[in-house]
Chain A
Amino acid sequence: MRRVRVFGNSHVLAWREGWAQVAAQWPDVAMTFFALPDKVHSRYLLRGSLDFAPRRTVTPEERARAVAINGCEAVTLAGHDLAVWVGLPWQPEAALALAQAGDPYPLAGARPALGPGFVAAALDEAADAVLAAWKAETIPAGPPRPVLFGRPVYAATCRGSGHALYAPWRDTQAHGAAAMALLAAHRDRLSARAAALGLDFAVQPFDTLDDAGATQADWLAEGGGMVDPADSAARGDHSHMNAGFGARCIAAVLGRAGFGAGA
């Protein structure tokens, strides 16, 4: 039996529910989950001992919350064949913001063309910010060294919100090719930068996206979306995805880790 530890913030939920749907396809895999509210997750530390445990700033109430969710307040990656750290920031909005301003290639009569050198520099800058947010240099070598899995791209339903957070997706809806090209470029550059540090970075399969760089609305978790239809500017929840989405991500990660495509 091969042991897989999935841990992270609230996005772990989709993975856990997804695993319930597809576990039978990997009968030799035992997958366990550990999830924290993002506010608490950001104050947990993956230590050199491979324990994912709270810092001193995590309050007793928050520790109790972790126990209530998971049955324990800390977990270890030691003894696992694979670990996946789910829900990490990767700034897809940085790529979409470039697509707001122009296209990564000349198009007759169209918007400004962003030079490849400029795009590369801007995406490198975004990658720097992501690596800093991950505190990449402190992630222990393992084994296993966790796969860093980016949070889901906002669902297409976000375009119905007037919240500023979603402006890049609203503004690029008519420029899908640019959005997709820049999003893929960002993913690839970030993966390469992470790989140079010995880190494996992955995100949702891009076929879960629509043609303008938002996660297809069908993948959104039940209860998500606008939340309050009376408030068009509300942030809502366009971020948390459903079990089917989790299952797709699991299949992608297990596949790239050499666990096979599932029975």
Chain B
Amino acid sequence: MARSPYHGLERRAFWRTGVEARESFASSGLFRPRFPITPEMRVATAGSCFAQHVGRALRAAGVAVIDAEPAPAGVSDKVAKDHGYRLFSARHGNIYTPAHLAQLAREVWDGFKPAEPVWPLGARFVDAQRPSVEPLGLASEEEVRWHRARHLAQVARAWAGADLFVFTFGLTEAFVHRDSGTVFPMAPGVLGGEYDPARHVFHNFGVAETVAAFRDFAALLRAANPAVRFLVTVSPVPLAATASGAHVEVATVRSKAVLRAACDEIVAEDDGVDYFPSYEIVTSASARGRFFAPNLRDVTDEGVATVMAVLRAAYGLGDAVAVPEAAALPPAAGGLEETRCEEMLLARFAAGAGPGAGGS
């Protein structure tokens, strides 16, 4: 009689020993890196709100996280982050979708010109591709264009100089310019501009589109930086709002499922890409929901710390702390790690006004 194919597998292959009986996420073999991250590496980060944690954790572990557009010394983190500094390796704000990421790379290296590059904000103007970095706007369209030209040069510098590019997939929902296909990071009308159904259309990206967009991005980056490798994650933060017509909880599961499936396809066919399971850690049944704040959306400090402990342990960075299973921990002590998540502005629309893609 043939032996079962499950015979001899590691303990982590079985739920009882891999989940029920594990002592900590960090020691459970949840993540085995394809390639190392060392303090000598230069790392670029981008993505959704949750990606900000990854950059901070790597920096705290002594990894050289690139900051191509640093804030002036002496300015507090609050003021800096309110204006897009100290969040990612360049001052592009949150990049929620791979389509937006690929579009930015095309703008940097392939001559792409986004439609509606400048949105009015009252009497002032914002960069439609990163409206959050100057929340009060600039004095003229020309000034916005000047800032963007300089920003693109710094994006190129940050990304081309990276040994590792870390990207957190956040959303599948976006608003798109109907004629040109230009993807916007925020719905028109939220942080500038004005929603016009004749010009703007909601789009909910599928798995194939998400995979293709990331591959387009990776190809462009590798053309400039052939040795770069990628570490991708999926944000565990649920959507704040959906424009899909579905219930936001259903839309969240759809969005995360698409992103997770896309990551699987990407990693399966590209040895230069690895997947880190931050989504799985935070949403794990073994966490019993405790990694979410009382609003069931924000990830608690404890959840972030757990994710980052697994990351550091896997790469042997810093003094990885064994984070015990959630059930063994005392109640979370409140205090959410602050991230800049402009899509939270959508909460203003909770009463029912305005278009707005939610995200994580």
A contact residues vs B (CB 8 Å cutoff)? 93-94, 97-98, 100-102, 106, 112-118, 120-122, 125
Give residues of chain B (121-141) contacting chain A, Cβ–Cβ below 8 Å.
133-139
Q: With A97-B73, A115-B133, A115-B138 given, can you name 18 additional A-B contacts, CB distance below 8 Å?
A: A97-B72, A97-B74, A97-B75, A98-B72, A98-B75, A100-B72, A101-B70, A102-B72, A106-B147, A112-B69, A115-B147, A117-B83, A120-B136, A121-B79, A121-B82, A122-B79, A125-B75, A125-B76
Chain A: CB-nearest residue to B142: A106
Residues of A within 8 A of B247 (CB): none
User: Does B71 make an interface contact (CB < 8 A)?
Assistant: yes
User: Does B143 make an interface contact (CB < 8 A)?
Assistant: yes
Is there contact, CB below 8 Å, between B146 and A117?
Answer: no
- Bound CA–CA A106/B142 (angstroms): 10
- Bound CA–CA A97/B74 (angstroms): 7
Give residues of chain B (73-111) contacting chain A, Cβ–Cβ below 8 Å.
73-76, 79, 82-83
**Given A106-B147, A121-B82, A125-B79, A116–B73 Cβ distance below 8 Å?**
no
- Bound CA–CA A120/B139 (angstroms): 14
Majority DSSP secondary structure for residues of A touching B: helix
Is there contact, CB below 8 Å, between B146 and A106?
Answer: yes
Is there contact, CB below 8 Å, between A101 and B150?
Answer: no
Residues of A within 8 A of B143 (CB): 106, 113
Is there contact, CB below 8 Å, between A113 and B150?
Answer: yes
**Given A97-B74, A101-B73, A102-B72, A117–B139 Cβ distance below 8 Å?**
no
Indicate which residue in A97, A106, A118 contacts B83 across the interface (CB closer than 8 Å). Answer: A118
- Would you list the 9 A-B pairs with minimal beta carbon distance, nearest first? A117-B136, A101-B72, A106-B146, A118-B83, A115-B134, A97-B74, A121-B79, A122-B75, A98-B72
Number of residues on chain B facing chain A (CB within 8 A): 22
Residues of B within 8 A of A125 (CB): 75-76, 79
Q: How far is the CB of B322 from chain A (nearest CB, A)?
A: 39
Q: How far is the CB of B145 from chain A (nearest CB, A)?
A: 9
Chain A: CB-nearest residue to B146: A106
**Given A97-B74, A100-B72, A102-B72, A118–B150 Cβ distance below 8 Å?**
no
Is there contact, CB below 8 Å, between B71 and A101?
Answer: yes
- Bound CA–CA A201/B317 (angstroms): 51
Chain B: CB-nearest residue to A117: B136
Residues of B within 8 A of A120 (CB): 136
Is there contact, CB below 8 Å, between B136 and A116?
Answer: yes
Is there contact, CB below 8 Å, between B72 and A116?
Answer: no
Is there contact, CB below 8 Å, between A100 and B73?
Answer: yes
- Bound CA–CA A101/B135 (angstroms): 20
Residues of B within 8 A of A121 (CB): 79, 82-83
Is there contact, CB below 8 Å, between B74 and A118?
Answer: no
Q: How far is the CB of A181 from chain B (nearest CB, A)?
A: 14
Indicate which residue in A97, A112, A122 contacts B150 across the interface (CB closer than 8 Å). Answer: A112
Q: How far is the CB of B275 from chain A (nearest CB, A)?
A: 35
Residues of A within 8 A of B74 (CB): 93-94, 97
Among A97, A98, A106, A116: residue with most chain B CB under 10 A: A106
Residues of B within 8 A of A106 (CB): 143, 146-147
